[in-house]
Amino acid sequence: MKPIPAFLLGMGVLAAVGFQGMNQGTLAPVQGPVVTVSGNGESSSDPDEATVRVGVQAQGKTAKEAQDKASVIAQKIIAEAVRIAGDRKQIQTSDLSLYPQYTNETGNQPPKIAGYQASNVISVRLTDLTKVGSVVDAATSNGANNVQGIYFGLKDKKAATGEALKNAVNDARAKAEAIAGGLGMKLGDLVVVEEQGAPGPRPMMMARAEFKSADASTPVEGGQVETSAGVNVTYRLVR
């Protein structure tokens, strides 16, 4: 019999050690019947922050003219938003766009550029929800011609997420108990529990609206912020 080269012996020892280590790091197989279910839970919270998105559109014969008009209006809105919010860091221009406007030609004539339209979207974040209506009014009275949306959310999402997770666990256990009861068995030890990729809080959004004037104060209600979570659990089944 030919002698085994030393380097092959070394590889065999390393492979054996690696295999043992892998076995030690894995979970032991579950003995006996188990039940695996998913649970979903939600929680409702009062919002403590809001983001108002207002839009400006302006037309001009040239791109520069359209941009300049939109910029003048945007600066007025930003100045008012800073006055109301009290912090310039909470205000940002979230979208800028410029595109040509074409004439409607008849026959085989290609369309021609008749002018340009510039658009700005300004986002204002507020932690005082009583100021949301004031921001909308100030924006529309200073030239904003649409409101992209008002989003209500939570500054700290941990408590709401924790409550939703508790409800998800309770939902999962109730399902598991129902299945076990249907089989004439009971729940044993909890084997595995894992959190699903939870979407978390879902900001409440008010619908987009078009404004021509702001003759009266705009009433705004925040409603509730819904937070959802999900879990997967596995229990042993016992007689």
Q: Quick: pLDDT tens for 24-44.
A: 444 556 678 999 999 999 999
Which CATH number belongs to the domain containing residue 144 in this structure?
A: 3.30.70.2970
Among 129, 153, 177, residue at a domain's last position: 153
Report the range of poorest mean pLDDT among 33-42, 89-98, 138-147, 211-220: 211-220
Q: What is the pLDDT of residue 197?
A: 79
85 or 7: which leads in pLDDT:
85
Q: What's the domain count of the chain?
A: 2
Look up tokens 């009275």; give the residue.
141
Among 153, 179, 195, residue at a domain's last position: 153
Average the pLDDT over 133-161 and give the result.
93
Average the pLDDT over 184-195 and give the result.
96
Report the range of poorest mean pLDDT among 30-39, 125-134, 137-146, 193-202: 193-202
Q: Supply the range of the domain harboring residue 196.
A: 31-48+155-216+224-239
d(CA 233, CA 102) in angstroms, rounded, equals 59
| pLDDT(231) > 90 | yes
Q: Are residues 66 and 103 in the same domain?
A: yes
Average the pLDDT over 204-216 and give the result.
46
Q: Are residues 62 and 119 in the same domain?
A: yes
Q: What is the dihedral of CA 122, 124, 130, 131, to 10 degrees?
A: -60
Single-letter amino acid code for the residue at 7 = F
Average the pLDDT over 64-75 and give the result.
96
